Structure 1
Amino acid sequence: MKRKLSNWALLLIILLGIFVLAACNDEETSSEDDSNTDNEEPSAEDPLTLTFFSADGTEKEFNDPVAQKITEETGIKLELDYPVGGNDEAIPLMIASGDYPDLIFAKGDIGKLIEAGGVIKLNDLIEEKGDNLKAMYGDQLNRLRNSLEDPSIYTVGTYGVENAFWETSGTFQIQMDVLRELGYPEIRTLEEFEAALTEYYEKYPEIDGQKTIPLSLLGSDWRWLITVGNPAGFAAGKPDDGQWAVNDDTGEATYKFLLPEFKEYFKWLNGMNAKGLLDPESFTHTYDTYISKLSSGRVLSIADQSWNIGDADKALVADGKEWKTYAPLPVTLNEDIKSQGLKDYGFAGGWGIAISSTSEHQEEAFEFLDWMASEEAQILVNWGIEGENYDIVDGKRVMQEDDRERMNTDKDYGKETGVGYYVYPFPQWGNGAVDSTGQSISPNTEQDIIDNFNSAEKEVLKEYEMENWIDWFPSPEELERSKHGTVSNYTIPAGSDLQIIQQKADDLTEQQITQAVLGDPANFDQAWDKMIADLEAMNIEQANQEMTKMVQDTMELWGTKE
């Protein structure tokens, strides 16, 4: 009995030994494989996927020709994510869960991520391996720093460093047909703007069987700031500082809706509504409905950014309705006020793409961002692929005709080809930059812009004896470069008194200004006075003081404070 047990025991020992040796060999092989994987550089054949959340992103796969070329050159593939339905809680939800993507473009919420420790400092990486970024930013690198108290750099990208001002955006815009029909009048003031709309509307109460809309805005979502709040500042001759008006010499900041000139603008808008000249759905319709109205050709004027109406503009051109596209106007409250449409804010700094603190691929993510700042990358993302999107003619890049045509008429061109799609919010040289051969880094030089005007634009410009729309506006040199950049791009500390008061003030003004505009003109002054009293009650003066300090600190950080 004992002998049989011994034989069985021996057999078991031998079998166990075999299993252990096999397991060890497998583990060693697996370990070697893992080691090889870790040591191998990402490649086009075996790319590394980085997750990227963009607060301005839309549904998109990273698989267009330009994206494929980026992967070929870097070994990096992006998994793109975006806030579904414009959800502004995406960043707070990330912070609450602690689950961050590798790369994050958070816009104004970057301060929340910094406060939560969700993103890393980039200073050392820039110094050690950021040659392309250092070359791109040059002496503007300080503008990436977070604050005087924390002069660390957390983000790169978003805005161009060297900018030229060949186009304007955000101003009042009027249909070409209105200008033609009225004999090409001079329109410099709100009074002249209203007169032109009124005269044309009385002549043509309907367009293509639909009711004509003299002026339409989009105040039902975050674009209230773009089409309602900001135009008031432009009419008042104020540069775009978000919700603030800033004295560029002293740095003194004031919550802008406290100023009397803003009341004057909204009182005018209230009158437009009372006269039936303002789209009654301006504060209720959706973006899609708004774009559909513009695309129909029955909206005579808007107060909007060109990037916000691009789809409508392309649809009008594609439908042969060039005369229903829009001309930008330097309209202000009166002739003594200069339009700020071509204001040079300098490199804005502030917002940008950050690398998360939980990413397992921080160095690779940084190397990717640095590559995006290289000349090779800038040519690729701006121009596309040689032989497919552009050709070299006499040593110069020339956009292919079909690509140039699609760029101006097809709203899906960028998404489908990738051309221009990955310029923003990545590091970008700017439309005023030139490459090592002296060629423009952008395919849209001023001459290209002029050449690409539609037939109506060319005829209208000829009638006004201008080459470009910017000829109507005060030049950047006349307006002078901003010493403080733009407050709209500042990162206000999350949870600070300033952030809390401004949020309450923004909510209040959006609601009460909307009500005042849509109300009886006889009640406008009373409604405005109530809003001012409510702002004062929430201690808006404290916010003024704190924003003033932030502006002055920024000027000191940048070396522009006198």
Structure 2
Amino acid sequence: MKRKLSILLLSLLFMFAALFLAACSDDSDTDTSSEDDDATEENESDEPLTLTFFNADGEEKSFDDPVAQKITEETGIKLEMDYPVGGNDESIPLMIASGDYPDLIFAKGDIGKLIEAGGVIKLDELIEEKGDNLKELYGDQLDRLRNSIDDPSIYNVGTYGVEEARWETSGTFQVQLDVLRELGYPEIRTLDDFEDAITEYYEKYPEIDGQKTIPLSLLGSDWRWLITVGNPAGFAAGIPDDGQWAINDETGETTYKFLLPELKEYFKWLNGMNDKGLLDPESFTHTYDTYISKLSSGRVLSIADQSWNIGDADAALVADGKEWKTYAPLPVTINEEYKSQGLKDYGFAGGWGISISSTSEYQEEAFEFLDWMASEEAQILTNWGIEGENYDVVDGKRVLQEDDRERKNTDADYPKETGVGYYLYPFPQWGNGAVDSSGQPITPDSEQNIIDNFNEAEKEVVAEYGMENWTDWFPPEEDLGMSNHGAAANYTIESGSELEIIQQKADDLTEQRITQAVLGDPADFDASWDAMIEELEAMDIEKANELMTQKTLDVMELWGTK
């Protein structure tokens, strides 16, 4: 009996042991599975979040340069960047038609179309709740981000610096440094002075390096017609850069600028330049690449262009040892009655910026990313690059490494390859006049750095004129005053509005008719111009003037500047 009980007891003990081991085994398996799941989730959370970003001014570029990698490391965000292929300006309308939007959108002047279509969200609440960096950045300029009197919401942030110092000028007439040296450093203030200088040099040197010398070249075959043909006409007439408009900054009265007699006077001069063989005959037909190739050869004596548009040519000239073939900006106007507006202070322009789409699944993450881009940490990174790789801290101050300083001045691909300076526009940016919490400039492009980075030819020329910087030639910004209305080129024109329709027709007409008038017989110029004015009046350009005047007044009311 005892033996049977012992066997039974032993069997029961084995059974309990087996059950216990099985239970332990199950618990162990369960715990391991849970740990594996946690590890998987942790690994997944370590992966950066990809936000799609359409940039209307973008180019083919992957978000993998060193600065981009650092941005991802700090924010957990990676950008998948898209841009309009072949200069296509239908990208935004196509987005609206399909309802397929990227997470982030820089639409430039098409922002109004997106707002009307409900394609972007209002940012007011997000700025208030979690936009500490943006609020600090914009401060009392925040109202300049607002859309309109009727809809004073904020739909975008970024694009332009808030604290901008004018240590450089752009968009004016520019002439080769060698022209100035060869002619004994003449004073060039008017169109006549400008024409005399390039004519004299051209007659002395009809060929450069075995190729025909080109006295003046423009790029009027694409959208850059506005940059190299339309805008210089206004600048020569002493009109600030308000796109296609001339604005009385006190009253807000706005006029389509090609109606003004000063503009006729400028284009009549340009027509004469063409008739004398001083204007590149391909100015209205050659491509951008051909234009840059001509400039890079060193045989184009003068241009009327923005510095950012000729950066590749400038870098190529310096790299080829042709520093004397680079360009000096000139404060040229029609005559001495007009004052160059090259250093005009427009204040923070507002208007354009990066928006968050209404269909994005990551709206909060997208906003947090934009807010981080406005932080001091981000501004130092995007302006200077990575400490130890692009710059060093010497005696408590940031100093670009010599290789980076050299490449920044001579290599047009430097921003794209390194990321240094690449992610400023159109993101929120402090501006080149801002300083960080230690009092240091937020950008390496301080005035002294600009002067220090002049090539040897530039240094010699400014010294000959008794200047330190090219801006010394121009009327100082304190004499020009700050614009009460900002820059009209950045105003949002409502899609499909009467103003948009009339202006588009007027822009198309003036580009065509002015080009024809410039290239035509001088004897026909007056008749051609008068016919264009009649066509503008027939399309009710005065109505556009009235509507744009009201928009300007609304902006001034919204900003509290009138």
Which TM-score tier does this pair reach, normalised by the shorter chain?
over 0.9
**Equivalent residue, structure 1, for 2:364:** 363
Distance across 2 between alignment mates of 1:214 and 1:275: 11
- Read off the aligned partner of 1:100 and give its amino acid letter: Y
Distance across 1 between alignment mates of 2:197 and 2:83: 41
**Equivalent residue, structure 1, for 2:549:** 548
What SS does structure 1 have at the residue aligned with 2:479? helix
What SS does structure 1 have at the residue aligned with 2:471? helix
**Equivalent residue, structure 2, for 1:18:** none
Verify the 8 A CA contact 1:43 1:72 in the aligned structure 2: no
Shift of residue 110, structure 1, vs aligned partner:
0.4
- Read off the aligned partner of 1:170 and give its amino acid letter: G
Distance across 1 between alignment mates of 2:380 and 2:131: 19
What SS does structure 2 have at the residue aligned with 1:251? coil
Shift of residue 32, structure 1, vs aligned partner:
13
Distance across 1 between alignment mates of 2:500 and 2:353: 20
Instruction: After superposing the two structures, state which structure 1 stretch, 43-52 or 143-152, moved more.
Output: 43-52
Distance across 2 between alignment mates of 1:52 and 1:35: 31
**Equivalent residue, structure 2, for 1:505:** 506
CA deviation string 1:85-110 (max 9, x = no partner): 11100000000000000000000000
1:437 to 2:449 alignment: no
Verify the 8 A CA contact 1:216 1:301 in the aligned structure 2: yes
Shift of residue 45, structure 1, vs aligned partner:
3.5
Output aligned runs, 1:202-351, within 5 Å: 202-351=203-352
Shift of residue 44, structure 1, vs aligned partner:
8.8
Verify the 8 A CA contact 1:134 1:141 in the aligned structure 2: yes
1:74 to 2:69 alignment: no
Pairwise CA RMSD of aligned residues?
A: 1.7
CA deviation string 1:469-489 (max 9, x = no partner): 000000111000000001001
**Equivalent residue, structure 1, for 2:200:** 199
| Bigger-Rg structure (1/2) | 2
- Read off the aligned partner of 1:264 and give its amino acid letter: E
**Equivalent residue, structure 2, for 1:381:** 382
What SS does structure 1 have at the residue aligned with 2:112? helix
The structure-2 alpha-carbon separation of the partners of 1:42 and 1:519, relative to structure 1 and needing over 3 Å to count, comes to farther
Distance across 1 between alignment mates of 2:139 and 2:68: 27
The structure-2 alpha-carbon separation of the partners of 1:407 and 1:517, relative to structure 1 and needing over 3 Å to count, comes to same
- Read off the aligned partner of 1:413 and give its amino acid letter: Y
The structure-2 alpha-carbon separation of the partners of 1:43 and 1:352, relative to structure 1 and needing over 3 Å to count, comes to farther
Question: Mind listing any 5+ residue stretches in structure 1 that lack a counterpart?
Answer: 1-29
Shift of residue 31, structure 1, vs aligned partner:
13
- Read off the aligned partner of 1:448 and give its amino acid letter: N
Distance across 2 between alignment mates of 1:474 and 1:444: 21
Aligned residue pairs, count: 531
**Equivalent residue, structure 2, for 1:101:** 102
Verify the 8 A CA contact 1:43 1:75 in the aligned structure 2: no
**Equivalent residue, structure 1, for 2:155:** 154
Distance across 2 between alignment mates of 1:389 and 1:44: 30
1:534 to 2:520 alignment: no
CA deviation string 1:524-545 (max 9, x = no partner): 0000000000000000000000
Distance across 2 between alignment mates of 1:126 and 1:42: 31
The structure-2 alpha-carbon separation of the partners of 1:360 and 1:209, relative to structure 1 and needing over 3 Å to count, comes to same
- Read off the aligned partner of 2:318 and give its amino acid letter: V
Distance across 2 between alignment mates of 1:114 and 1:408: 40
**Equivalent residue, structure 2, for 1:411:** 412
The structure-2 alpha-carbon separation of the partners of 1:523 and 1:47, relative to structure 1 and needing over 3 Å to count, comes to same
CA deviation string 1:149-191 (max 9, x = no partner): 0000000000000010000000000000000000000000000
1:400 to 2:433 alignment: no
Shift of residue 336, structure 1, vs aligned partner:
1.6
Output aligned runs, 1:442-481, within 5 Å: 442-481=443-482
Distance across 2 between alignment mates of 1:42 and 1:128: 30
What SS does structure 1 have at the residue aligned with 2:68? helix
Distance across 1 between alignment mates of 2:526 and 2:333: 21
What SS does structure 2 have at the residue aligned with 1:104? strand
- Read off the aligned partner of 1:419 and give its amino acid letter: V
TM-score in terms of structure 2 length: 0.93
- Read off the aligned partner of 2:395 and give its amino acid letter: D
1:128 to 2:147 alignment: no
Distance across 1 between alignment mates of 2:56 and 2:229: 22
Stretches (4+) displaced over 2 A: 30-37, 40-45
Distance across 2 between alignment mates of 1:256 and 1:288: 30
Shift of residue 54, structure 1, vs aligned partner:
0.1
What SS does structure 2 have at the residue aligned with 1:343? coil
- Read off the aligned partner of 2:228 and give its amino acid letter: T
CA deviation string 1:415-469 (max 9, x = no partner): 1100000000000000000000000001110000000000110000111000000
Distance across 1 between alignment mates of 2:462 and 2:396: 32
Verify the 8 A CA contact 1:42 1:75 in the aligned structure 2: no
Shift of residue 503, structure 1, vs aligned partner:
0.2
The structure-2 alpha-carbon separation of the partners of 1:56 and 1:43, relative to structure 1 and needing over 3 Å to count, comes to farther
What SS does structure 2 have at the residue aligned with 1:249? coil
Verify the 8 A CA contact 1:274 1:520 in the aligned structure 2: yes
Question: Mind listing any 5+ residue stretches in structure 2 that lack a counterpart?
Answer: 1-32
Verify the 8 A CA contact 1:44 1:71 in the aligned structure 2: no
What SS does structure 2 have at the residue aligned with 1:49? strand
Distance across 2 between alignment mates of 1:41 and 1:322: 55
Distance across 1 between alignment mates of 2:143 and 2:107: 20
The structure-2 alpha-carbon separation of the partners of 1:33 and 1:271, relative to structure 1 and needing over 3 Å to count, comes to farther
Verify the 8 A CA contact 1:148 1:557 in the aligned structure 2: yes
- Read off the aligned partner of 1:162 and give its amino acid letter: E
Verify the 8 A CA contact 1:44 1:73 in the aligned structure 2: no
- Read off the aligned partner of 2:405 and give its amino acid letter: R
**Equivalent residue, structure 1, for 2:57:** 56
Distance across 2 between alignment mates of 1:240 and 1:541: 21
Question: Sequence identity of aligned pairs in percent?
Answer: 83
Shift of residue 224, structure 1, vs aligned partner:
0.2
Distance across 2 between alignment mates of 1:180 and 1:216: 20
- Read off the aligned partner of 2:64 and give its amino acid letter: N
Distance across 2 between alignment mates of 1:41 and 1:498: 54
Verify the 8 A CA contact 1:42 1:48 in the aligned structure 2: no
